[in-house]
Structure 1
């Protein structure tokens, strides 16, 4: 069982245009709606890859109802924590003429201290039965308390092996609890370490800092550039398959899901990362996030090359 948990789900609107003209009325050729946000993308991707998954996540309002209905219809297990605030709505704009994708992100709304406590309780219940957990996404404010930057650190005390897809203070606070894998992108890694990372060598030095801080493995992506992986003693570089990109939103989430599924199946970390990169690449070829077939991902895995540096 893989447990996926996070506090920033979203109901996603995806609008497709030939081209968008700023300051003008633009009429979409197509519109799609789906559950999204990092936590839901990871959970759906694990399900699509035929992994056994349970989800811990807060939801509220009409958007929250739509998310629950979608997961129920598609048979994806979830432990929902009802919230007084409505779940956010985010919007993706896709322009077919240029291939440009623009994302409008609403920040997750504040939750109450009681809702946070309920989320932690629900997570502890499901995490105790898991062989791997994925903790992912930004943190909302807690009313009267600010952001609970130590939340993921607290959750890790109830977890077995953890893949951690967070950044900044939340990531730093969790490192002493020895996550199995952390996977910021290069920009997030720089934000966490407090400096701009312009070269691979600068990125590798920052990755080694996270290894020294407690992470067993550190994985860093940088768009379509090579993916870097470190442990405390070695470095690997992975190629990214060239695909026709329709919507890149959710690729990092599918990377995390692919790694989690492969590890849960007993694969070693190097091969799990290859599978995860293939899942991320396959995700980019579709309009909706995390709706792919494992067979296609298996085939794409052969296009991911790896070398030890």
Structure 2
């Protein structure tokens, strides 16, 4: 069981626009998709598609929280959820045919509520935990560090203060992208990840967009991504982490786990997001995914 714990869950509304986004102008939306959102649910979708056991954990509130529960259940994803005061946030993803990277507009979400978090942590099933996404508004960093320590070495996919807390709290893995690593160390490179690992002892799973990904720990491995037509890259990092954790839990070596992870991230971008993810497509890309020398 891989537990996908998301401190700030959301309803994700993906809106396909009828034309390129133009500020100050009217746009019509011929297609809308609403899903139980956040990095954790995306990760769980990929783990389940690949054949693993998983659950989505977090707090929800209000009408949006009830909608989140219903959408998660409709997908057949198991949820370990606690109710809080306030309203689960909505995140809007604006896409267009043949356009650039989608425009994302994210609300804040309910304020941090320690009693609900304590109840949630007490209910988590056994298994490795991935802590995914931004912190709830008002979360004290000391409380977040204490949560990470209580989880006994989770993988952490966050940014800014969340990544700093992960490094200070004995995370088993952090998953920054190049921009997040640059904010952490001053450089978004494999060499800077090596220095970070040498200093902290926390392995780094570095996502590099269309270039692929790298794992930097006691072992260093770099994998190049295949060339695919990108339909929607949102969720590709979540897909990559989910596939990596699934493969490692299944006993795969780091190079083989990283190859599957990059194939999954590429398949997500090709197919248009985690809701459309297909494990067969990811595995069909594996012959095009190669380990390359670190640079």
Fold shared, TM-score > 0.5 on shorter chain: yes
What is the TM-score when the length of structure 2 is the normalising length? 0.91
Partner of 2:194: 208
- Residue 241 of structure 1 contacts residue 300 of structure 1 at CA under 8 Å; is this kept in 2? yes
Cα 1:92–1:236 shift into 2, 3 Å: same
Mapped partners of 2:275, 2:239: distance in 1:
6
**Per-residue deviation at 1:53?**
0.6
Matched residues, number: 293
Partner of 1:4: 4
Partner of 1:166: 158
- Residue 250 of structure 1 contacts residue 290 of structure 1 at CA under 8 Å; is this kept in 2? no
- Residue 34 of structure 1 contacts residue 288 of structure 1 at CA under 8 Å; is this kept in 2? no
Cα 1:215–1:45 shift into 2, 3 Å: farther
What is the TM-score when the length of structure 1 is the normalising length? 0.87
For the pair 1:157 / 2:149, whether they are aligned, the reply is yes
Cα 1:79–1:219 shift into 2, 3 Å: same
For the pair 1:222 / 2:223, whether they are aligned, the reply is no
**Per-residue deviation at 1:29?**
2.0
More deviation, 288-297/42-51: 288-297
Mapped partners of 1:288, 1:236: distance in 2:
26
Partner of 1:185: 177
More deviation, 213-222/25-34: 213-222
Unaligned runs of 5+ in 2: none
Query: CA-to-partner distance for each residue in 1:279-299, whole Å, 9 max, x for gaps?
Result: 111111234424322222111
- Residue 2 of structure 2 contacts residue 54 of structure 2 at CA under 8 Å; is this kept in 1? yes
Partner of 2:69: 68
Partner of 2:254: 269
**Per-residue deviation at 1:220?**
1.3
Cα RMSD, aligned residues only: 2.1
**Per-residue deviation at 1:85?**
1.1
Mapped partners of 1:148, 1:185: distance in 2:
24
- Residue 213 of structure 2 contacts residue 223 of structure 2 at CA under 8 Å; is this kept in 1? yes
Query: CA-to-partner distance for each residue in 1:226-246, whole Å, 9 max, x for gaps?
Result: 4232114x5332111211211
Structure 2 matches for 1:23-38, cutoff 5 A? Answer: 23-38=24-39
- Residue 18 of structure 1 contacts residue 97 of structure 1 at CA under 8 Å; is this kept in 2? no
Unaligned runs of 5+ in 1: none
- Residue 109 of structure 1 contacts residue 140 of structure 1 at CA under 8 Å; is this kept in 2? yes
**Per-residue deviation at 1:178?**
3.5
**Per-residue deviation at 1:104?**
1.1
Mapped partners of 1:261, 1:290: distance in 2:
18
- Residue 8 of structure 1 contacts residue 39 of structure 1 at CA under 8 Å; is this kept in 2? no
Partner of 2:135: 139
Mapped partners of 2:260, 2:109: distance in 1:
30
**Per-residue deviation at 1:88?**
0.5
- Residue 241 of structure 1 contacts residue 303 of structure 1 at CA under 8 Å; is this kept in 2? yes
- Residue 176 of structure 1 contacts residue 213 of structure 1 at CA under 8 Å; is this kept in 2? no
SS at match of 2:68: helix
Query: CA-to-partner distance for each residue in 1:203-240, whole Å, 9 max, x for gaps?
Result: 234312331343442121232124232114x5332111
Query: CA-to-partner distance for each residue in 1:83-137, whole Å, 9 max, x for gaps?
Result: 11111101111111434421111123313232232233334xx2xx21x221111
Cα 1:30–1:213 shift into 2, 3 Å: same
